[in-house]
Structure 1
Amino acid sequence: MFKHVMKPLAPLLALTLAYAAFTTGRSPEERLAPISDAAKTFYTTLRAERISGLPSEEQMKKLSGLLTPGLHAAILKARAEQQEQIKKHPDDKPNWIEGDLFGSLFEGVTQWELGSAFFAPGVDGTVKVNLTYQEATEKPTKWTDILVFKQREEKWLLDDIRMGGEWAFKSADSLRGRLPGGWQAREDHDSPDEKWHVTFQRDGEVVSNISIQAADKSGLPHLLFGAESSPAGGVPSWVLWNPDSDLLAVRLGDSPRFTRTLIFRLVGHEWKKVEMPVFYAEEKKTMAGNGFRETDSLIDADHWYDANTLVVKYFSSWANGDDGDGYSKYISVQISADGKASVTEAVDTPGKD
């Protein structure tokens, strides 16, 4: 466990006031009760339906009021694409036709229990759900998924599910990642609005460059990564699109202990790089001045909180002989209309139950 000695970054006034109003006079259990209640309602409804593949129209009627408009639209788009696949290739099995779309394990869930909830300003609300799958004579498989909620007009709605199962054949790390325009795209793909195409160039397991080009090929490809001399290492790299398809983040894995995130914004018909703010610059300077060396630095694009705010999962550890220090944070980075990025909030990541 790392000790957090670094002073917190100042949040925006609006977020501070909103959080103060939310927390004043309430116990931790009372503050988190609305998120936990939303999770219980959603998961009870979901598992009562026994959904395989995409929800049917009747099942979506029961779920739609519990989902954000963005997630609802992504599921409907998947259904439209599925129907188009069936029409064009009637003898082939289409995407999203079977398996548990809403959980880590294809076979589904036989038992579930809600775990801890988490919320802080500028970061989505989350609720852990502890899951089990067991056939009659087999050893049970256990894992934990995380339900991600956004608040819309005083109501908490499901926006994503982060898949916590740790096995080789998991189809994606999140529900969004399994749907059209999924956030963590790790292969060649089109943007959510289908106007841009992203290409990953690899040399074996190493990503040598990532480029973007208009889907209609009306312009030349633009390098998002690869102009520098050092390619990304054999650690997963991904692209994360904002809901409006005019901002994207590129997460690059230089090594298992050092990763970084680049941000780009669409200006006219060109993609311009946005300078990522340096996290804890003064604290790092102080640590280095006291003989500490940074041994890990993971700057991972996690998700878009809204169309202009990227949430980065940031982990850093420092060592000086036997002494160690560090921290693990969710950091919200807001991109202004003129392309300036600034930190609006930093909170500790929730620990395990």
Structure 2
Amino acid sequence: MRRKKITACILVAVLLIGALYIVQRLLVPKYQTGIVEGSMVEEYYKDRSDHEVLFVGDCEVYENFSTIELWRKYGITSYIRGSAQQLTWQSYYLLEDALKHETPKVVVFNVLALKYNEPQSEAYNRMSIDGMKWSMSKVNDIKASMTDEENFVDYIFPLLRYHSRWSELTKDDVKHIFSKDKVTHNGYYMRVDTKPQQEFPDPTPLTDYKLGDKAMGYLQKMTDLCKEKGVKLVLIKAPTEYPYWYEQWDEQVQQFADENDVDYINFIPLQNDIGLDMSQDTYDAGLHLNTTGAEKMADYFGKYLVENYNLTDYRNDSEYASIWDKKEAAYDSMKQQQYDELNKYGELKSFGANAIQN
């Protein structure tokens, strides 16, 4: 009799845990339609191939560099580990996490995030952190990123944070309760629509132009980690002009690069060399590049990478080619879908922050 009671208790406990897990899976945001940035980090683990170039950073990398164009033009295998408003320490821990799985030849970090020296937003934290696999990298990322209002336990048990989402549930939450569709192309977020660059407001003078100790400290940690692993680090500033990148910030990054023997490229003054036309190559009035702009950036930067970092052209390698042929097909298919929607509706209906859920 006692054994039956114990068995029954164990069964009840298992069923309860299983039910809570299913409820948690249902309630956590899926990021499959509209704001998809929360799906980007976890997609990395599904990509089984290795990468000679690894980008880390915010929207200035995942919207401005076409990984598929890097492959097509140069045979470069690359991935972008990016998320919305990804802070410097978040990029560091995502890089630390990635280097447990592979060792690229080059890591590229976009420096705009250095403007932030403190945690900014729980919503952005979640999009950057929730998709990470559990490890000390994730634990330390959470500790470095939490705002004063956040609790560590909510990251361990997301149900505690999202238990009130019942009224917000959509078809996506049910459809993708256990699996998700890919939303990027090796981390690149595609938008083919066009909205010409507008006139930006004049930059606001700052009382202090010094980049923060925490942000710069994590840049140093990133630099040291790359040197330890034998990986070349390249610092970049994307060519988009807003949010404003102050000359004083640029000078500090250049000084850091010189002192640490790493390359730094500010693409803003190179727009003409790249061939960018900001009346055609942006989809949101100049904040980010569209696909034509991202492909131009890949063409320009890919040439630099090949000439300076002894990268391998894998296009004639049958194993890599078979993998990337599928990636190219998916890229071309989505591009055609977006152009078809533009031709039919004059705007995108199934892509972007205002996408309509099916």
Structure whose residues are more often strand by fraction: 1
Instruction: Kindly indicate which of the two structures has a greater share of residues assigned to helix.
Output: 2
Same-fold call, TM > 0.5?
A: no
Question: Which bin holds the TM-score, normalised by the shorter protein?
Answer: under 0.3
The higher relative CO (CA closer than 8 Å, separation ≥ 6) is in: 2
TM-score (norm 1): 0.27
State the TM-score, normalizing by the size of structure 2. Answer: 0.27
